[in-house]
């Protein structure tokens, strides 16, 4: 039933000595040791819009609850990126192959997670984006 | 140019058919195949519930970075509010909450270095936060 997330950061040459950091987290409900028990599963969309599109709609019932979001840009052209915003606040740009894994608070209904294929053109082709949400609320829907 | 890789693995038994996802990405500068060459690694102990600038835009010289933040606490009541926004000159109020990093949780995200990343502990106990920035 448990959901685990593991991250490994490794470099042989970014510092004088090799760097290796590994972390595994078991995803739990807010402030407890109980496992998160709901998920959207893995989803895939194809972005072809330079303006923001809602990936995950915020629900204020989730404000005090735990939720984790995974998003990856599956493009192969290194120049193509996806801009990720929360409530119109830019978080960062996912370039081809980049992923993110973040906790998500839904402080209000405006706290949606939105994505835009900011430098998309008709000649670049769609940008495939995959995402998953793990959460605990019963009324927590996504509307890709 | 350095070569730095980030690998994530997600496994979940929440659904009837279990989910398993694994991906590795090379950390490159914006829009290139050139690896990032700067790394910062910090551990801090915070002893109040005041919001503080954890990672300031002035600490990074590029417009694209990768951020790792870890809450190593084992006390499930100890979490951090992670926010991003216009922290301004010592007044980090105009910020958007990304999420709460509960005990044992980590986060990994790209950062466009437009706004500071701020943090607010849930308790005034000595709470340790660890973070790394690659740029």
pLDDT, tens only, A3-33? 999 999 999 999 999 999 999 999 999 989 9
Q: Does the beta carbon of B127 lie under 8 angstroms from any beta carbon of chain A?
A: no
Domains of chain A: 29-135 (2.60.120.10)
**Model ipTM over 0.85:** yes
Distance, in Å, from the CA atom of A14 to the CA atom of B127, rounded to the nearest integer, reads 29
Condensed to tens digits (0 to 9), the pLDDT of residues A53-100 reads 999 998 877 788 999 999 999 999 999 999 999 998 999 999 999 999
Look at the block and give the residue holding tokens 């466009």. B112
DSSP state letters, A23-58: EEEE-B-TTSSSBP-EEEEEEEEEE--SS-EEEE--
d(CA A110, CA A17): 44
Q: Which residue in chain B is spatially nearest to A98 when comparing CA positions? A: B25
For B31-85, what is each residue's pLDDT tens digit?
999 999 999 999 999 999 998 999 999 999 999 999 999 999 999 999 999 999 8
> What is the rounded CA–CA span in Å between residue A2 and residue A12?
33
Taking contacts as CB-CB distances below 8 angstroms, the residues of chain A near B87 are: none
Measured between CA atoms, the residue of chain A closest to residue B122 is A31
Question: What's the gap between Cα B32 and its chain centre?
Answer: 23
Residue A20's CB is within 10 A of a number of other CB atoms, namely: 10
Dihedral over alpha carbons B72, B73, B77, B82 (to 10 degrees) = -30
- pTM of this structure: 0.94
Chain A nearest-CA distance from B106, in A, is 7
Average pLDDT over residues B111-126: 94
Q: Are the CB atoms for A77 and A47 separated by under 8 Å?
A: no
Domains in chain B with CATH codes: 38-134 (2.60.120.10)
When the pLDDT of each residue in chain B is averaged and rounded to a whole number, the result is 93
């Amino acid at each position: 039933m448990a959901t685990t997330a593991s991250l490994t950061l490794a470099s042989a040459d970014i510092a004088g000595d090799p760097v290796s950091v590994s972390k595994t987290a078991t995803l739990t409900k807010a402030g407890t040791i109980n496992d998160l028990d709901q998920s959207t599963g893995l989803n895939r969309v194809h972005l072809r819009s330079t303006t923001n599109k809602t990936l995950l709609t915020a629900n204020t019932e989730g404000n005090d609850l735990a939720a984790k979001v995974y998003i990856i840009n599956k493009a192969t052209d290194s120049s193509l990126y996806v801009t990720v915003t929360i409530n119109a606040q830019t978080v960062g740009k996912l370039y081809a192959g980049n992923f993110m894994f973040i906790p998500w608070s839904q402080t209000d209904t405006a706290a949606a997670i939105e994505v835009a294929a900011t430098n998309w053109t008709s000649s670049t082709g769609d940008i495939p984006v995959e995402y998953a949400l793990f959460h605990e609320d019963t009324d927590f829907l996504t509307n890709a | 140019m350095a070569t730095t890789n980030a690998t994530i693995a997600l496994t979940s038994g929440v659904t009837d058919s279990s989910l398993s996802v694994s991906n590795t990405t090379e950390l490159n500068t914006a829009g290139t195949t050139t690896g990032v060459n700067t790394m910062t690694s910090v551990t801090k102990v915070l002893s109040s519930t005041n919001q503080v600038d954890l990672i300031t835009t002035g600490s990074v010289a590029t417009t694209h970075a990768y951020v790792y933040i870890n809450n190593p606490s084992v006390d499930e009541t100890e979490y951090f509010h992670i926010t991003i926004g216009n922290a301004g000159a010592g007044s980090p109020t105009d910020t958007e909450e990304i999420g709460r990093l509960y005990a044992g949780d980590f986060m990994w995200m790209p950062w466009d270095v437009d706004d500071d990343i701020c943090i607010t502990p849930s308790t005034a106990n000595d709470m340790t936060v660890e973070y790394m920035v690659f740029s």
